[in-house]
Amino acid sequence: MESFNPFEVAQQQVLEAARLLNLDEPTRDLLLWPQREFKFTVPVKMDGGGTRVFHGYRIQYNTARGPAKGGIRFHPDETVDTIRALACWMTCKTAVADLPLGGGKGGVVCDAKRLSEGELERLSRAYVRAAAPLIGPDRDVPAPDMYTNPQIMAWMMDEYETLTGRHAPGVLTDKPMQIGGTEGRRDATARGGVITVREACRALNVDPCGTFAVQGFGNAGQRAALLHEELLGGGRCIAVCDSRGGLLNPDGFDVRELVQHKLKTGSLAGFPGKAVPREAVLETGADILYPAAMENAITSENAGRIRAKIVCELANGPTTPEADRILHRAGIHVIPDILASAGGVTVSYFEMVQDAYSFFWDEATVHARLDRQLTRACHAVQEAMAEKGVHPRLAATTVAVARVAEACKLRGWV
């Protein structure tokens, strides 16, 4: 079983790109480590009357291109190295999408599922009280991540405004629309992923209307299944899975009915189709595969059985380093997470812009601007692949590292 430190993986990816770009040693060393790391304790009054002390983090990896941008996770297994890695990948994600932002990440070690709504609110506000000196619309802009959501962002924004005594909706993104959120955010990650699939299909001469499978049928996976048919003009969804199991239907599911069943029952169980183990969904032979669940879903143990033509990483880090090499040798085109899931941070950036001007766009405008931004990003990565003769992940990382390094040099940091 593969075991590795996620931050060491991220560092290795940056190092590969730095060598390919022939970066000087100081620039390389600067990009291998976060600029700033903050660790704080977060005391919270619990419903039972006692106080629990939680441990929180905020890491700003690089801000040469603009304010740090990245989510806040509430997860029991959160570690500083996980947050470092995610902050590094966020720096690469904003750079490959060519957004005027840096990268950051935060988290609290907790089991959000075991907290009441009142405890969640008090934890959210306490986190902001600890992090307030570090964040702001022109400094560091958090967003939701694992086990956080728009309501938590609303509490956090309100706490920040209470502390600073001023209206600052742009301090966090993915807020409810009534208090500064944007149209088009709910499906942005999935929409961006499908756009990158469209561009990959064009470049590789793959029929986007063939078969596809979705591993992880949460928000991103459901929306990707719906948008694949809508944006690509067709396609047959032949396999899906959630945390409880998988379903297979070689003739294709009615995706809308499948999504409605999942939303109504909370599970795929009971929907017509052949029940299969979750991991089998990765190995169905569908032309396009969307890993949209947890990290490390594709490993050296199962990569050799994957037969997709294109893998679109909607999840963060779904492919281990060794699996990446196996897929590349097999001729499978992997759209890396820093490109495939960049739709979310791109529309979050649009939200920041709209908050700054107090002028909001309609959904069609958001969708059109997202399409243009990610299409340009795809073309930049494709050009790097051709120029450098490397696989998509290294090409995307190279585009990102080159842009961040250039900003660091222009500022005189190195």
Residue numbers annotated as active site? 105
Q: Of 208, 202, 199, give the one whose Cα is nearest residue 378.
A: 199
- Grouping H, G, I as helix, E, B as strand and the rest as coil, residue 41 is strand
**CA 355, 377, 226 angle in degrees (round to 5)?**
75
Which stretches of 165-277 are DSSP H helices?
A: 188-204, 219-232, 255-265
- Grouping H, G, I as helix, E, B as strand and the rest as coil, residue 75 is strand
Nearest 10 degrees: Cα torsion 336, 404, 13, 57: -90
Rounded-to-integer distance, Cα 79 and Cα 57, Å: 9
Distances (CA, A) of 324 to 202, 303, 311: 22, 8, 11
Tokens 């842009």 — which residue? 403
Within a 13 Å sphere around the CA of 166, how many CA atoms are in the beta-carbon half?
Answer: 6
Non-local CB neighbours of 265 within 8 Å, separated by 6+ positions: none
Rounded-to-integer distance, Cα 347 and Cα 367, Å: 9
**Facing residues of 298 across strands?**
319
Distances (CA, A) of 407 to 62, 240, 292: 10, 42, 32
H/E stretch holding 285: none
- Grouping H, G, I as helix, E, B as strand and the rest as coil, residue 238 is strand
Do the beta carbons of residue 289 and residue 310 sit within 8 Å? yes
